[in-house]
Structure 1
């Protein structure tokens, strides 16, 4: 076994022991997350940095001038720390759910923005995005289930 593989294994164990974000699947989950937009939205990819700005309310408009309508998926009957929202927040915003909630409380009371719309079922997220060209959301892979939405590529290399 190479030295690299041993170091990588040791790092993975250290992250699990330290309580880092968990991306393991709960029963009934259908895989990693995909970011979705309306099929009429000309965007096919975003950098992770752009996605973070959108979901933190720091970028409020698409290139064509329409306001961005963010949607969060807060799954019903699921451990909050393993929910799609927790995974999305950790992956793209480097924030835990408590930190994200605190961020939005400060933003709301200082007049600096409004948090994303929240839906409890993936069907509602997909339905909303399919009916709103300006909407962006996320669901688990394999849960698109609508002709009027498309997944977009997120470029991780651009995130500092």
Structure 2
């Protein structure tokens, strides 16, 4: 009986892990295909998305755009690039806004809208699910 209980528990945990693994969102940072930026590191990206700088490493203006707050891709991006959870991110921006030092990135509903914004402005950078990458964008970081 004792052995059967642990076997059932092990199967349940194993199935839970499989389901959780299937829900992982693979997010990549992209810029417009018209943008000359070839690659960026996590620190450079984090600095832009956390309002510490408004420029690409080459000095050009950077326009970060976030996906909707309810997006799993947004949570995955911020955890992997900045190490911040959604609640930590809210606290970060509350402090920045309160002190008058900046505003959070513009927010769009989804990756398709982000790519549309990139087509209009090559200085936009954002993150999308890997399966949305096409020839209109260039991947500059895979966190």
Q: Mark yes or no: TM-score above 0.5.
A: yes
CA root-mean-square deviation: 2.5
| Deviation for aligned residue 1:64 | 4.9
Q: Distance in 1 between matches of 2:112 and 2:29?
A: 14
CA displacement 1:73-124 (0-9 Å, x = unmatched)? 127xxxx4x7111111110111110110111111112121111111111110
Task: Tell me the TM-score normalised to structure 2 length.
Answer: 0.76
2:141 counterpart SS class: strand
Correspondent of 1:143 among 86, 111, 132:
132
How far apart in 1 are the matches of 2:125 and 2:84? 19
**Cα separation, partners in 2 of 1:63 and 1:87, compared to 1, 3 Å:** closer
1:24-103 alignment to 2 at 5 Å?
A: 24-26=21-23, 31-74=25-68, 80=70, 83-103=72-92
Which residue does the alignment assign to 1:10?
none
Q: 1:108 to 1:101 in 2, by over 3 A?
A: same
Which structure 1 residue ranges, 4+ long, deviate > 6 Å from structure 2?
none
TM-score by length of 1: 0.69
Determine which structure has more spread, i.e. the larger CA radius of gyration. 2
Whole-angstrom CA distance in 2 between matches of 1:48 and 1:63: 12
Contact 1:33–1:140 under 8 Å retained in 2: yes
> Would you tell me which structure has more helix in proportion to its own residues?
2
Where does structure 2 lack aligned partners over 5 or more consecutive residues? 1-12, 14-19
Structure 1, unaligned runs of 5 or more: 1-12, 14-22
Cα distance in 1 between the residues matched to 2:113 and 2:83: 26
* Contact 1:126/1:144 (<8 A) preserved: no
